[in-house]
Chain A
Amino acid sequence: MIDHFPAIQVALPMIAAAVVVIVRNPLVSHLIATGVAWISAVIAWTLLQSVLASGPISYQLGGWAPPTGIEYYIDPLNAFVLFLVSGIAAVVFPFAGASVAAEVDENKHHLFYACLLLCLTGMLGITITGDAFNIFVFLEITSLSSYALIAMGRDRRALSASFNYLVLGTLGGTAILIGVGLLLMQTGTLNIADLHMRLEGAHAASKTVLVALAFLTVGSSLKIALFPLHAWLPNAYAHAPSAVTALIAATSTKVSLYVLMRFIFTLFGTAVVFDVFQLQRVLLPLAVIGMFVGSLVAIYQTNIKRMLAYSSLAQIGYMVLGISLVNESGLAGSIVHMFNHAVIKGGLFMVMAAVVLRTGSADLSAMRGLAKRMPLTYLGFVIGGLGLIGVPLTAGFISKWYLVLGAIQNGMWLIVAMILLSSLLAVIYVWRVVEVGFFEEPDPEAPEIKEAPLSMLIPTWIMLGASLFFGVMTDTTAGVALEAARQLMGAP
C-alpha cells in the first residue's frame, strides 16, 4: 500500500472530483472533498517522513522505467511542498462550506467542489512529478480549474478577473511548453534528472539552452506573479469566492515557485544558471522592486482582499530574493517562507472570508469597529498581520531571519536594509486595518453583526495557530527547508 502512495496522492483527488460530479448533492460533495483533503495530507506527511528517513522515492507510472516513462520523484523539497499544499487544503476545504453556501449558486456547488479537487490534483501532480512535460500537463489542470473557480465569484468583475488570468496564465503555460520543447530538441529527453545529466556536458552553454532557460523562467514567473508579471493577481484574488482566494493565495503561487526552483536547481543546475547565464542579475532586482511596489501599493488599497493580494506580491519578492542570493541560507529562507507565508496569508484570507460572510463586503469602511462585533475573527487578523510583518515568535520572523542571514553571507548589506525597510511598510498596511477595527466606532445605523460561525472560526484559528506554532517550533519547517536547500545547492 505504502509503495503506491505517490500515485494515490494524485489519483485520489482526481477520482473524488469525478465522483462529486455524479453525486451532485452539495453537502455530500463537501464531505467527500474534505475527507479526501485530509487523506491527502496524511499521505503527504507519510511521504515526507519516509523521504527524510530513507532518501528519495521514485515511482514508475505504468511500469515504464525512466527516462522513457513518466516518473514520480520525491525528494525533501517536493515532499515538503506536497505536505504544504495538502495541509492547506485539509484546513481550507472544511472551512469552505459556509462561505461557498453564501457566495456560489446552489446548483453549481457540486461543480465547485469538483473544480476545487481538480485544482488540488493539479498542484499535487506538478509537485510530485519528475518529468518536465508532466509538469506542464498538471499546470494546465491547475490553471483551468482555477479559472473556473475564480469566475464563480460573487459579481461580474470575477469574470473579467478570471479572463485576465486565463490570458496571462495561458501565456505562462505556453512559455513553459516552448521551454520544455527546446530542451527536448537539444537533449531528446523529458525526465528532469536525465535532462540534468545530459545538459552537463557540451550542451550547457548553447543558445538553445539559454533560450529554454529564458522561456522556463518567464513562464514560471508569470505563474508566480513576480513583478512585473503580476497583473493578473490582484483582481483574481479580490473577486474570487473567498474560500478559493484562501486556497489559491496560499498554495498556487508557491507551487509555481517550486517549479522555478526545480527548473533552476535540479534541471539546469546552479553552475549553468548562476555561473554561466547569471540569472541572479535579473531575479534579484525584480524581487527587490516587487517587495517595495507590492507593499507600497498595498498601503493605498481600500479593498482588504486586494490589499492582501498586493502584500502577496511583496512576499513573493522575498521568496524570489532567497533564490537569487545563491546560497544555502537564502534558499532555505525562500523554501521556509513558502510554507510560512502560505499559512499566514491563508489564515488572513480566511479571516476576510468570515468578514465578507458577515458584512457582505471586503471594504475597509465595512470593517469599522468590527473588533467589537467579531472579536475572535478580528484577533485572527492581528495575529496574521504580525506574521506578515515578521515579528519574532511568528512564522514570518523565521523566514526573514534566514533571508537576512543569506544576504549577510554574501555581504549584501543593502539587501539586508531593504528586507527590514519593506517589513516596516507591512506595519503600515496591517495597522490601517487594526486601527479601523479597534479604534473606530461602528456605524450606528449598520445592522447587527454576529461573530463568524464555528465551522469557519476553528479552521481559521488552526491556520493562524500554525503560524505561531511554526514560529517557535522550527524543526519541521526550517529543518526540512535547510535539508532541502542543502541538497539543491550541493547536488552536482
Chain B
Amino acid sequence: MKDHDILRVTAKALIPLIFLFGLYVQFHGDFGPGGGFQAGVIFAAAIILYALIFGLDEAKAVVPPRVLEIIASLGVLLYAGVGVVTMIKGGTFLAYNALDPAHPTHGQHVGILLVELGVGLTVTAVMCAIFFAFAERGRRT
C-alpha cells in the first residue's frame, strides 16, 4: 500500500506519535491507567501499522523475527531477574521493598517500573511475532 500517498504520509506522521504514547502509557502506569501490557500492545500496533503500509519484508528488516524472540525472552528475564535480586537482597520473590531497604516506597517504585518494562518488552515482541506468523501464512507455500 505504499503507493498510496495519503496512507504513507499519515502513517509516517502517526507512527512516532504512537511510540511516544506507548512510552507514556508504559512509564506513567504506576500513577495512572496503563502499564506494560497496554504499552506493549500500543508499541506492537505501531510496528504492525508499519508492516501494513510498507509491507512485511520492510517491517521484518526493522525487527527481524530472531530479534523478536530475543526481546520476548529478555522481558521475561527482566521480570524474573527483579525477583531474583529481591531474593538475594533478603526479601521473598518479587518483594520490592527489599530493593531499597532504607526507603521501601522507593524500592517499590523501582521494582514495579522494571517489572512493567519486562512485561512491555515481552508483549510487544510476542504481538509482533503473532502478526508476522499470520501474515506469512500462504506466502511460503
Chain A residues engaging chain B, CB cutoff 8 angstroms: 4, 7-8, 11, 14-15, 17-19, 21-22, 59-63
Contact A61 B92 (CB under 8 A): yes
Contact A61 B73 (CB under 8 A): no
List the A side residues contacting B97 at CB < 8 Å. 63
| Chain A residue, CB-CB nearest to B83 | A11
| Chain A residue, CB-CB nearest to B81 | A15
Contact B70 A22 (CB under 8 A): yes
Q: List 12 A-B contacts (CB under 8 A).
A: A4-B87, A8-B87, A11-B84, A14-B80, A18-B72, A18-B73, A19-B73, A22-B70, A22-B73, A62-B92, A62-B93, A63-B91
Contact with A along B81-99 (1 / 0, CB 8 A): 0011001000111111110
| Chain B residue, CB-CB nearest to A114 | B73
Contact A18 B76 (CB under 8 A): yes
| Chain A residue, CB-CB nearest to B75 | A18
Measured CB to CB, the closest approach of chain A to B43, in angstroms, equals: 19
Contact B92 A18 (CB under 8 A): no
| Chain B residue, CB-CB nearest to A110 | B69
Q: How far is the CA of A63 from the CA of B86 in the complex (A)?
A: 10
Q: How far is the CA of A62 from the CA of B77 in the complex (A)?
A: 17
| Chain B residue, CB-CB nearest to A3 | B92
List the B side residues contacting A61 at CB < 8 Å. 92-95
Contact B70 A21 (CB under 8 A): yes
In the complex, which residues 90-138 of chain B have their Cβ closer than 8 Å to any Cβ of chain A? Answer: 91-98
Measured CB to CB, the closest approach of chain B to A371, in angstroms, equals: 43
Contact A14 B93 (CB under 8 A): no
Contact A62 B96 (CB under 8 A): yes
List the A side residues contacting B84 at CB < 8 Å. 11, 15
Instruction: Knowing that A4-B87, A8-B87, A15-B77 touch, tell me 19 more A-B residue pairs with CB under 8 angstroms.
Output: A4-B92, A4-B93, A7-B93, A11-B80, A11-B84, A14-B76, A14-B80, A15-B76, A18-B76, A19-B73, A19-B77, A21-B73, A59-B92, A60-B92, A61-B93, A61-B94, A62-B94, A62-B95, A63-B92
> Quick one: given A21-B69, A63-B97, are A7 and B92 in contact (CB under 8 Å)?
yes
Measured CB to CB, the closest approach of chain B to A13, in angstroms, equals: 11
Q: How far is the CA of A63 from the CA of B83 in the complex (A)?
A: 11
| Chain B residue, CB-CB nearest to A23 | B73
Q: How far is the CA of A18 from the CA of B74 in the complex (A)?
A: 7
Q: How far is the CA of A11 from the CA of B84 in the complex (A)?
A: 9
Measured CB to CB, the closest approach of chain A to B56, in angstroms, equals: 19
List the B side residues contacting A60 at CB < 8 Å. 92, 95
List the A side residues contacting B76 at CB < 8 Å. 14-15, 17-18
List the A side residues contacting B98 at CB < 8 Å. 63
List the B side residues contacting A18 at CB < 8 Å. 72-74, 76-77, 80
| Chain B residue, CB-CB nearest to A6 | B93
Q: How far is the CA of A11 from the CA of B82 in the complex (A)?
A: 11
Q: How far is the CA of A18 from the CA of B72 in the complex (A)?
A: 8
List the A side residues contacting B74 at CB < 8 Å. 18, 22
| Chain A residue, CB-CB nearest to B78 | A18
